Amino acid sequence: MRTRLVVLAGLLALTACGQRQDAVGPPAPQLPDDGDALVLRVAVGGGFAPAGTAPTELPAVSVYRDGRVLSNGPVIAIYPAPAWPNVQVNRVDEDTLAELVQAAQDAGVAGTADLGDPQIADARTTSITLATADGTDTRDVYALTEAVGDPSLTDEQATARQDLADLVDRLLALTESEPLGRYTPTAVAAFASAYVPGDPALVRDPVAWPGPPLPGEAVTPDVGCALATGEQAAALVTAAQAADTVTPWTDGAGTWTVVFRPLLPDETGCDDVTG
């Protein structure tokens, strides 16, 4: 009798343990230790974007381990536009960050659910990235918003897409709170091409170039990328904030049109921008 009671107690204990594990579910994802490490990102590319846009286009939103949320802020609706991008900083707390990571897992960022093949031409592709201590996953979704209601999608495909679309909406909503200020990078990628005069009514005097030699490393036959760090990066930020997109830049040897791309905390060089 005593032996049977001991066995029964053991079985009950194992059953209770199993029930507790089922209630808790799988362990929460472990996040990177580095505060500058990327955790979540939404980027949109392709489609009818103007030629030359892709190398300098900033992600829609990037969330980092220390809670910073970097995104494109509003830009004054004038032409020519300011030369320096308006990258804004928001912040989320630790609990919110953990919830967002779990939401990304639940939405299938690291999954392989069939998303179908919408029959839509020239739509854009939304790339959703989730990075944890276990690795980085990126889910590319063609025509995420354009394909809503597309009859070529099955119910399962439409549901999988909607889960990812809801996640994207949640991440983009992080930028709607009051920003903490503009982002100041420690490095800047300057994409340079030979200056071609445009509208005579928008003529600008050339501005002395305060950065590294132009045009830098070749990106295309006509465009180079020069990387500025340290004091040169700070000088470029100051100069670009006083310029617009048609400002010509001169280094004494030539005159250039320059597009400025602040590097984000997880980026270190031109290759990170151009892919």
Average pLDDT of each block of 10 consecutive residues along the chain (275 residues)?
47 47 61 93 80 74 96 89 96 95 96 94 94 95 93 96 97 89 96 93 94 95 96 97 96 95 96 88
Whether 22 is covered by a domain: the verdict is no
Whether 103 is covered by a domain: the verdict is yes
Question: Cα angle vertex 112, ends 46, 148, to 5°?
Answer: 50
Whether 128 is covered by a domain: the verdict is yes
Into how many domains does the chain fold? 2
Q: Which pLDDT does position 185 carry in this prediction?
A: 97
Report yes or no: 227 and 270 within 8 Å, Cβ to Cβ.
Answer: yes
Domain that holds residue 231: 185-274
Report yes or no: 258 and 226 within 8 Å, Cβ to Cβ.
Answer: no
Q: Which pLDDT does position 178 carry in this prediction?
A: 79
Same domain assignment for residues 169 and 218: no
Predicted structure pTM score: 0.86
Whether 5 is covered by a domain: the verdict is no
Whether 13 is covered by a domain: the verdict is no
Same domain assignment for residues 155 and 269: no
**What's the CATH code of the domain at 94?**
3.30.1560.10
User: 129-145 pLDDT, tens per residue?
Assistant: 999 999 999 999 999 99
Q: Which pLDDT does position 51 carry in this prediction?
A: 55
Same domain assignment for residues 118 and 236: no
Same domain assignment for residues 144 and 190: no
Whether 226 is covered by a domain: the verdict is yes
Q: What span, in angstroms and rounded, lies between the C-alpha atoms of 44 and 60? A: 7
Same domain assignment for residues 200 and 107: no
User: 50-69 pLDDT, tens per residue?
Assistant: 555 557 889 999 999 999 99
Of 125, 198, 132, 205, the C-alpha closest to 168 is 125
Whether 165 is covered by a domain: the verdict is yes
